[in-house]
Amino acid sequence: MKISIIGTGYVGLVQGAVMADFGAEVICMDVNKERIKDLNEDKIPIFEPGLKEVILKNKKAKRIEFTTDIKYAVEKSQVIFIAVGTPANEDGSADLEYVLQVAENIGKYINEYKVIVDKSTVPVGTGKQVSKIIEKELEKRGEKIEFDIVSNPEFLREGKALGDCQRPDRVVIGTDSVKAREIMKKVYDVLYINETPFLFTNLETAELIKYASNAFLAVKISFINEIALLAEKVGANTQEIARSMGMDGRISPKFLHCGPGYGGSCFPKDTKAIVSIGKKYGEDMYVIQAAIDANEKQKRKVIEKIEDKMQGVKGKTIGVLGLSFKPDTDDMRDAPSIDIIRGLVKLGAKIHAYCPEGMKEAKWRLEDCEKSIIYCDDEYSMANDVDGIVLMTEWNQFRGMDMKKIKDRMRDNFYFDLRNIHTKDKVVREIFKYYPVGQN
> Residue 7 interacts with ligand NAD (CB under 6 A)?
yes
> Residue 15 interacts with ligand NAD (CB under 6 A)?
no
Q: Is 376 a catalytic residue?
A: no
Out of 3, 9, 352, 392, the only residue in the binding site for ligand NAD (CB under 6 A) is 9
Handedness of CA 14, 17, 20, 21 (dihedral sign): negative
22 vs 47, which CB is nearer to ligand NAD? Answer: 47
Interacting residues with ligand NAD between 17 and 56 (CB under 6 A) = 29-32, 35
20 vs 406, which CB is nearer to ligand NAD? Answer: 20
* CA pair distance 419, 434, nearest whole angstrom: 12
b/e map 200-237, b = 16+ CB within 10 Å: ebebbebbbbbbebbbebbbbbbbbbbbbbebbeeeeb
Selected range binding ligand NAD among 9-17, 55-63, 190-198, 244-252, rule: CB under 6 A:
9-17
Selected range binding ligand NAD among 6-14, 307-315, 355-363, 389-397, rule: CB under 6 A:
6-14
Least Å distance between CB 155 and ligand NAD? 6
* CA pair distance 122, 105, nearest whole angstrom: 18
Interacting residues with ligand NAD between 383 and 412 (CB under 6 A) = none
Distance of CA 421 to CAs 141, 379, 426, Å?
Answer: 60, 15, 12
Backbone phi and psi for residue 320, each to the nearest 5 degrees, phi listed first: -115, 120
Distance between terminal CA atoms of the chain?
A: 57
Out of 5, 12, 123, 321, the only residue in the binding site for ligand NAD (CB under 6 A) is 12
30 vs 357, which CB is nearer to ligand NAD? Answer: 30
Interacting residues with ligand NAD between 141 and 180 (CB under 6 A) = 154, 156, 158
Least Å distance between CB 158 and ligand NAD? 5
Least Å distance between CB 68 and ligand NAD? 8
Burial of 430 (0-12, 13-18, 19+ CB in 10 A): exposed
Least Å distance between CB 79 and ligand NAD? 16
Interacting residues with ligand NAD between 255 and 274 (CB under 6 A) = 265-266
* CA pair distance 91, 337, nearest whole angstrom: 23
* CA pair distance 48, 37, nearest whole angstrom: 19
Interacting residues with ligand NAD between 77 and 96 (CB under 6 A) = 83-86
Least Å distance between CB 46 and ligand NAD? 7
117 vs 241, which CB is nearer to ligand NAD? Answer: 117
Half-sphere exposure (Cβ direction) of 74: Cα atoms closer than 13 Å = 18
Question: Which residues have a Cβ under 8 Å from the Cβ of 58 and sit 6 or more positions away?
Answer: 17, 20, 21, 26, 64
101 vs 276, which CB is nearer to ligand NAD? Answer: 101
- Number of residues engaging ligand NAD in binding (CB under 6 A): 26
32 vs 89, which CB is nearer to ligand NAD? Answer: 32
Interacting residues with ligand NAD between 96 and 125 (CB under 6 A) = 98, 101-102, 120-121
Least Å distance between CB 334 and ligand NAD? 11
CB neighbours of residue 179 within 10 Å: 12
Q: Active site residue: 28, 165, 266, 376, which one?
A: 266
Least Å distance between CB 279 and ligand NAD? 19
Q: Which residues are catalytic?
A: 266
Binding site for ligand NAD (CB under 6 A): 6-12, 29-32, 35, 83-86, 98, 101-102, 120-121, 154, 156, 158, 265-266
